[in-house]
Amino acid sequence: MSQRKVSVRGNLVRDMMQNVMETSLKQPIRTGELRKNPVEPAWVRPAGYEYEIIELENLKMEYLRPVGVVTDRVILQLHGGGYIGPMKNIYRRFAVRYSKLSYGGDVLTLDYRVAPEYPYPAALEDAVAAYQWLIEEKGYRPEHIVVAGDSAGGGLSLALGLYLKDHGIALPGGFITMSAWTDLTNSGESRVSNYEIDPLFGNSTDSMLYNSEYIGGEDPGIPYISPVFGEYEGFPPVLMQVGSYEVLLSDTLTVADKLKNAGVKRRVSVYEGMFHVFQMGLDLIPESREAWDEVESFLRIIFNINIKPDGKVVRKVKTEHTKPARDMVKLLIAMMKKELDT
């Protein structure tokens, strides 16, 4: 567990999600109503970034790059949404965060085809095409690519890795999953044990997790649909994050065990009291901030990023005013921590 104690803000956000989901959202999410009629303000590209929409045959992608920075590293982001949801503004904000945490890396976010119009294997085909585009068209080396995804995008990331391995295509440098949906057979133990506490998918089977349109007429136990049934020998390092309250908790833990048995380097973080893709809280809640800090550490390892302090370290000179000022700062920090975490 990354945190044994849930922050006040984390509890509040989780409760807010539960209150909303118990009213009107579960049915529209399952039927695709929210996908067909997304209501979002226009996204404004932050200063210092180039932003390009790339449209290929059956493929739409958004390519974000910091201006005047060339690192030769890139994150391929596969968004969540149960294979029926569209690419939304939160993933554009995620892209900016990934770029910053990779110290100037580029980010390609794939807006893959979704069900019910495009069931399996459409999303996987698009993910493979996007990965090959990065290598063949843009010249990125596979080891300089990290594939990241949340929820369905997390499962799709692992499915992409399984496909690449099975077809003799060079694997990326690493994978990041957040609350990955890896078992579309819904056989995980946490579907039962966390049924009453998951604020997003608990207390109902009328959601995108059940009777998924993505499966189409295929067997949901196919590893490319449910990566929990895949074999992971030869995979690069994997970072997996999940909340302890999720019905999808088993989806992460079972894959994590398979990674361990396959000898794959992996880090698995279960955040106590957290809900599905709590990382969307960005800087709002302490658990989300900690999760993104963990992402940064992982990216620095995968990309071999060494950060050295600027300038020269000099010996600090104590004055009679230094200690009172330092004590005041410590007191303020303690008060803030008490406010947020107790």
Residue numbers annotated as active site: 151, 246, 276
Distance, C-alpha 188 to centroid of its chain: 20
CB 249 within 8 A of CB 6: no
Amino acid at 186: N
CB 199 within 8 A of CB 18: yes
Strands 238-243 and 266-271: parallel
Q: What is d(CA 256, CA 88) in angstroms, rounded to the nearest whole number?
A: 28
Q: What is d(CA 129, CA 117) in angstroms, rounded to the nearest whole number?
A: 19
- H helix or E strand, kind and range, residue 83: none
The CA–CA distances, whole Å, from 336 to 10, 92, 329 equal 15, 30, 11
Q: What is d(CA 269, CA 319) in angstroms, rounded to the nearest whole number?
A: 43
CB 303 within 8 A of CB 106: no
In the chain the first and final C-alpha atoms are separated, in Å, by 18
Grouping H, G, I as helix, E, B as strand and the rest as coil, residue 23 is: helix
What is the Cα gyration radius of the chain?
21
Q: Which of 99, 258, 75 is nearest to 174 (CA)?
A: 75
CB 65 within 8 A of CB 100: no
